[in-house]
Amino acid sequence: MMWDEPPDRLSNSGYIQMYQAQRPDTFVKKLPSRRWAERSSRASSSSPSIPTFITEKEFAEHYTAAAFAGHHDLTCETSVTLWWGALGARDGASAQRVFTQFRKHLNEWMYERHLPTVYFFGHENSQRIGLHTHLALYLCLSTHTRSPQRDEFRRWAMEWPERNGYGSCPRAIRVTGPAKRTRWLHWHHFHYQVKGYDPQAIVRRAYNSPFGTDVLLGELIAWPWQDPGVVTMMPRLGSCLNLGPARREIGIPKHCDELRNPPQPKRPVVPRVMSLGEQLRCLRQPEAPRPPFISRYEDGWRDVRWLYPREFNTRVTKLSYEPEPPRRPPPSDDFMLEIELI
């Protein structure tokens, strides 16, 4: 107004959207967060202890596990938050013991319901509630109707502390998630677990980038950065054995190629007669081995348009990602020569 110039019509969000359109390969925009101001003030304040940042190597392993589950359509929409202080675990060692016990019972619960064991998790230590864990779980939700195993699991998880001698802890374990299948929540939970990343980690140098700038680890993560605190639970990020390197080398998670059969007694009293179908399966030639699973991040991709599904990217960047219409090639010289001769 002093220099008689028109006011800037672009707000802060307008500039972010403009930069996002210029860099569609990264997440300039971030997912909305309810405590952004609180995290910003904490990030700028000096902390006496060094936070346990998520390194690029830990991010790569966690992404590969999540991508392995998504590749086989085992999307983890259900989120479980475990507050270790409410369960009486005051340090990392005691919280690690309780978490091991919880995972053991979780594996048994999924085995009894013939569900493949698929989940991944991350630990954090916030100033508000202290040490806690976020776990994303696959429950085989239905696409059109409400899945009964979702409500059954929520009751089982909420009653787990009282069944195991920790008393009534209504706030210790929180289960959230949709009643129907929502695939994009799989990557939403992944980005929420890795929001304590190293803000200075570089995943691609400027001389290898098509835009001529360094690609930071935070530019591949859709959640705003948050101070993770000091985390002593190991591993910092993890997943079930079904998503680990051994199963990725085979190419498919366990019990996902066929339905899981109920457990049989080790020593049957009466020998069971094999049916005709079982005899034919024994005579069938063994299938060819599957190729090992290699994620796109391990293959060298550093573009969010390739690392994550389009459905999730459009929710973050608000870009359409519509392909450009094919341009018609210019007419050949021979064709123009024929026109001139005619």
Token pair for 245 = 């390197």
Confidence of residue 55 (pLDDT cuts 50, 70, 90): very high
Q: Where are the alpha helices (DSSP H) in 72-113?
A: 92-112
CA distance 85 to 145: 36
* Alpha carbon distance 124, 197 (integer Å): 11
Q: 326 CB contacts (<8 Å, ≥6 apart)?
A: none
pLDDT at residue 4 greater than cutoff 60 = no
- pLDDT score at 169: 86
Q: Looking up tokens 């009643």, which residue turns up?
A: 179
13 within a domain of the structure (yes/no): no
**How much is the pLDDT for 150?**
92
Task: Tell me which of 134-143, 150-159, 163-172, 239-248 is least confident.
Answer: 163-172
Average pLDDT over residues 12-21: 88
Q: Is residue 281 part of a domain?
A: yes
Helix (H) or strand (E) holding 185: helix 185-193
Domain membership flag for residue 2: no
Range of the domain at 68: 19-264+273-333
75 within some domain: yes
pLDDT tens-digit map of 269-309: 455 666 666 666 666 656 667 899 999 999 999 999 999 99
What gap in Å lies between CA 100 and CA 106, rounded to an integer?
10
Indicate the range of 6-15, 155-164, 286-295, 315-324 predicted with least confidence.
6-15
Residue 260 has pLDDT above 60, yes or no: no
User: For position 42, what pLDDT does the model report?
Assistant: 46
Distance CA 4, CA 67 (A): 54
Provide the 10 A C-beta neighbour count for residue 186.
23
In the block, which residue shows the tokens 């123009």? 336
β-pair type (78-83, 119-126):
unpaired
Spatial separation of the C-alpha atoms in residues 268 and 153, rounded to whole Å: 32
CA dist 212 to 26, 207, 208, 215, 332, Å?
A: 14, 6, 8, 9, 35
Place of tokens 């429950």: 139
Residue 312 falls within a domain, yes or no? yes
In a domain, 338, yes or no: no
3-state SS class at 124:
strand
Contacts of 13 (CB under 8 A, 6+ apart): none
Tally of domains within the chain: 1
Structural domain contains residue 45: yes
Q: What is the pLDDT of residue 259?
A: 38
pLDDT interval class at 258 (50, 70, 90): very low
- Classify strands 119-126 and 237-239 as parallel, antiparallel or unpaired: antiparallel
Cβ contacts of residue 27 below 8 Å, gap of 6+?
A: 219, 220, 221, 222, 304, 316, 317
pLDDT in tens, 58-90: 999 999 999 999 999 999 999 999 999 999 998
What is the per-residue pLDDT across 191-217, written as a single tens digit (0 to 9) for each?
999 999 999 999 999 999 988 999 999
Angstrom CA distances, 81 to 86, 124, 229, 239, stand at 12, 11, 17, 15
- Is 342 within the bounds of a domain? no
37-41, 160-164, 252-256, 305-309: least confidently modelled range: 37-41
Task: Taking residues 256-264, report their average pLDDT.
Answer: 47
